[in-house]
Amino acid sequence: MPASSLEVADIFRAHGQRWRQAHAGHISLAQLKVMSAIEACRSAALGGHVLRCQSCRHQQIAYNSCRNRHCPKCQGSTAHRWLEARQADLLPVDYYHLVFTLPAPISDLAYSNKSVIYTILFKAAAKTLQTIAADPKHLGARLGITLVLHTWGSAMPHHPHVHGIVPGGGLSTNGQRWVSCRPDYFYRFGYCRDCLDGYSWKASTRPFKRVS
């Protein structure tokens, strides 16, 4: 089946105005700006420039990009460069993929407290992995971690969670040798959950805004 040429910008241009009217009063100014940027991206609304072939004199008009960080078209090349840079960091060892999620009541708080909740989630996830790795009973090493925040699930419900990519081992505490992990190292969910809960609780000491 051929890939669809339909883009987010096409949907916004066709239905965005009706959607904004239907949800008036429930959309933030920042969200409205994002929609406006995506709708105008690479269209005459943002102007453009003319590309001309020096050999055949063929001309092509290229419209300017919005460069909004939420625009899927603008960020496609940025995401590709980021992935290439991360691949260059990979070590010749096995890697593990872990996901840290939030309970539904905490996810609801994230609507009005994004910076606070996401910071707590990142710090708690990193501290959990570092604590488990540093424990001589588990690994006894310093662990490298890549964490990426996703705020939506695959079916597009609001579902803040952090994906973690970690190598199957780490540097010894004196930095002189590589310490490999056991095959079941990251499957000790009970210990991992207890650490995450503990660090999340310690970090959540500041007041939150109520979800309206």
DSSP track, 149-207: EEEE-TT--EEEEEEEEEESEEEETTSSSEEEPPTTGGG-HHHHHHHHHHHHHHH--S-
Output the average pLDDT for the chain. 81
Query: Are the CB atoms for 163 and 99 separated by under 8 Å?
Result: yes
Q: Give the per-residue pLDDT at 185.
A: 65
Please provide the DSSP assignment of 4-27 as one string. P---HHHHHHHHHHHHHHHTTTSS
pLDDT tens profile 148-163: 998 876 666 778 888 9
Q: Give the per-residue pLDDT at 155.
A: 64
Residue 28 has pLDDT above 80, yes or no: yes
Percent of the chain beyond pLDDT 70?
83
pTM of the model: 0.65
Nearest alpha carbon to residue 182 among 133, 147, 148, 146 = 133
Residue 208 has pLDDT above 50, yes or no: no
Least-confidence region, from 45-49, 124-128, 153-157, 190-194: 190-194
Q: Which contiguous run of DSSP H or E holds residue 71?
A: none
Q: Give the per-residue pLDDT at 212.
A: 45
Q: Which of the four pLDDT bands, split at 50, 70 and 90, describes residue 36?
A: very high
Cα distances (Å, whole numbers) of residue 46 to 5, 25, 62, 64 = 22, 27, 11, 6
pLDDT tens profile 87-105: 888 889 988 888 888 888 8
SS3 state of residue 49? strand
Domain locations along the chain: 8-63, 90-203
Q: Which of the four pLDDT bands, split at 50, 70 and 90, describes residue 17?
A: very high
Q: Which of the four pLDDT bands, split at 50, 70 and 90, describes residue 184?
A: low
Q: Give the per-residue pLDDT at 78.
A: 78
Percent of the chain beyond pLDDT 90?
16
**Higher pLDDT residue, 159 or 188?**
159
